[in-house]
């Protein structure tokens, strides 16, 4: 999997510039900037669909069967990992290293709670508290440092 991510990093950097994908929502501004909105939206959906299908394959391999609702419990974990990634290096923008650090943190946290035999609903409360803390660090307490 690490080899796949490494092999995809260079082509994705060259093909889809994040700065070009940001202003796709106002199509007039994107057209005036010289970018094709249809092409950029299509490219964004293709990349998103490809990565979602890869995630589905990984979850199906982990669970051992294909099920529509097998990834529903992982939604809060992934959102928490991404938002903790915002707060890790105080960049206040999405970054890969911060998301990896957030995913490791959430994984270690959930593994620790499982080893402590905490009930499943306690894990959701703890994840929510960590998520609120990360959002407070990112947007509330971090405002004094521009």
Is the whole model's pTM more than 0.85, yes or no? no
The alpha carbons of the chain give a radius of gyration, in whole angstroms, of 18
Tens digit of pLDDT for each residue in 58-111?
888 888 887 777 777 788 888 888 888 877 776 767 777 888 888 899 999 999
Q: If you write DSSP's letter for every residue of 109-128 in order, what string do you get?
A: HHHHHHHTT--HHHHHHHHH
Structure-model confidence comparison of residues 64 and 141, the more confident one: 64
Q: What is the mean pLDDT of the chain?
A: 78
pLDDT (0 to 100) of residue 64: 84
Tens digit of pLDDT for each residue in 121-130?
888 898 889 8
Residue boundaries of the structural domains of the chain: 2-63, 72-144
């Amino acid at each position: 999997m690490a080899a796949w991510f490494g092999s995809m990093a260079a082509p994705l950097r060259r093909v889809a510039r994040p700065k070009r994908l940001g202003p796709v929502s106002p199509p007039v501004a994107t057209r005036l900037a010289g970018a094709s909105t249809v092409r950029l939206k299509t490219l964004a959906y293709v990349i998103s669909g490809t990565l979602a299908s890869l995630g589905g394959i990984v979850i199906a391999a982990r669970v051992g069967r294909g099920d529509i609702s097998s990834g529903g419990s992982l939604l809060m974990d992934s959102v928490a990992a991404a938002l903790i990634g915002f707060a890790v290096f105080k960049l206040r923008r999405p970054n890969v290293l911060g998301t990896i650090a957030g995913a490791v943190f959430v994984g270690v946290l959930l593994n620790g709670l499982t080893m402590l035999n905490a009930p499943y609903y306690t894990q959701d409360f703890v994840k929510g508290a960590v998520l609120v803390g990360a959002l407070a660090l990112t947007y509330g307490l971090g405002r004094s440092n521009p």
